[in-house]
Amino acid sequence: MRLTLVSHSLCPYVQRAAIVLAEKDAIFDRRYVDLADKPAWFLDVSPLGKTPVLLVGEQAVFESAVICEYLDESLLPRLHPQDALERARHRAWMEFGSSVLHTIGAFYSAPDAPSLAARRDELQARFAQLENVLPAAGPWFAAQGFGMVDAVFGPVFRYFDAFEQLGEPGFFEATPRVRVWRASLAGRASVVQAVSPEFPELLRRFLLERGSELSRRAGARRRQAGGTLESVK
Ligand SMILES: N[C@@H](CCC(=O)N[C@@H](CS)C(=O)NCC(=O)O)C(=O)O
């Protein structure tokens, strides 16, 4: 069956599906859409108008968690644990990962300094929760090896590379296990290859042009460092 991952270049939910496909050595095409101008063919296969969609031959599967579950049921190696209760626990932490993505969106869109600080605190509290469930020895979410929760958090941690470059470090100072996990994911081939080489620059521009507190701070830092806002774009 021909597999096509309908994608947007910055979408973290697309990345998790791409990571699962890569972990299974699946051959697939990508088809990119402009979410600011959704084409009719895309709305036909995506009832909520969102990426990702996985086209499996003529059939369309939408919602990233559903796509990942479908891939895990149909392609080896299995990324989910065998035990049903353990599998349920992993699904719950995948959902936790989606919630962290929402908070990341609220962080980079925060309109003012107090809400930016509040979202930072919220993210750090989420990472403290993760710290309590990660294995001491790393490198992945579970001792049995790379799994679905890892596929979800690869794209989560990638945002912090951009935040650090824009002058917002310090999210992981109190969470050493999360730091190890983040570094392991950053080196995993499937995670690296889930985005294009242009991704860091595209994300940086997106964040700078957001009109948010983060955009203003990052722009001001760049200007102080001697560049103009134009030169950092
Ligand atoms: N729950 C969805 C979320 C997907 C999602 O939010 N995709 C965003 C891009 S990252 C999107 O397509 N947004 C377009 C829109 O909402 O109009 C999933 O897990 O697949």
Domain ranges in the chain? 3-74, 84-192
Among the listed residues 132, 173, 134, the one whose alpha carbon sits nearest the alpha carbon of residue 153: 134
Handedness of CA 66, 70, 76, 80 (dihedral sign): positive
Q: 193 vs 1, which has greater pLDDT?
A: 193
Query: 4-13, pLDDT tens digit by residue?
Result: 999 999 999 9
Over residues 155-181, the pLDDT tens digits come to 999 999 999 999 999 999 999 999 999
- What is the percentage of the chain residues whose pLDDT exceeds 90? 94
Mean pLDDT for the chain overall? 96
Which residue lies with its CA nearest to atom 1 of ligand 1? 63
Confirm or reject: Cβ of 35 under 6 Å from ligand 1: yes
Torsion angle, alpha carbons of 35, 38, 44, 50, to 10: 10
With a cut of 50, say whether residue 186 has pLDDT above it: yes
| DSSP label of 33 | -
pLDDT for 227 equals 56
What class, spelled out in words, does domain 3-74 have in CATH?
Answer: alpha beta
Q: Rounded mean pLDDT of 194-223?
A: 96
Q: What is d(CA 106, CA 156) in angstroms, rounded to the nearest whole number?
A: 13
Assess whether pLDDT exceeds 80 at residue 101. Answer: yes
For ligand 1, whether the C-beta of 64 sits within 6 Å is yes
The 10s digit of each residue's pLDDT in 55-96 is 999 999 999 999 999 999 999 999 999 999 999 999 999 999
7 and 33 Cβ atoms separated by less than 8 Å = yes
Please report the atom of ligand 1 found closest to the CA of residue 12: 10
Is 68 part of the annotated catalytic residue set? no
**84-192: CATH architecture:** Up-down Bundle (1.20)
Whether ligand 1 lies within 6 angstroms of the CB of 51 is answered as: yes
> Does 228 score more than 60 pLDDT?
no
Per-residue confidence (pLDDT) for residue 69, from 0 to 100: 98
CA 41 to chain centre: 25
Q: Is the pLDDT of residue 3 over 60?
A: yes
Query: What pLDDT is attached to residue 225?
Result: 87
Q: Is 16 helix (H, G, I), strand (E, B) or coil?
A: helix
232 has pLDDT over 80: no
Instruction: Give the range among 4-8, 99-103, 173-177, 223-227 with minimum mean pLDDT.
Output: 223-227
Q: Give the model's pLDDT for residue 172.
A: 98
Q: Check pLDDT > 90 for residue 226.
A: no
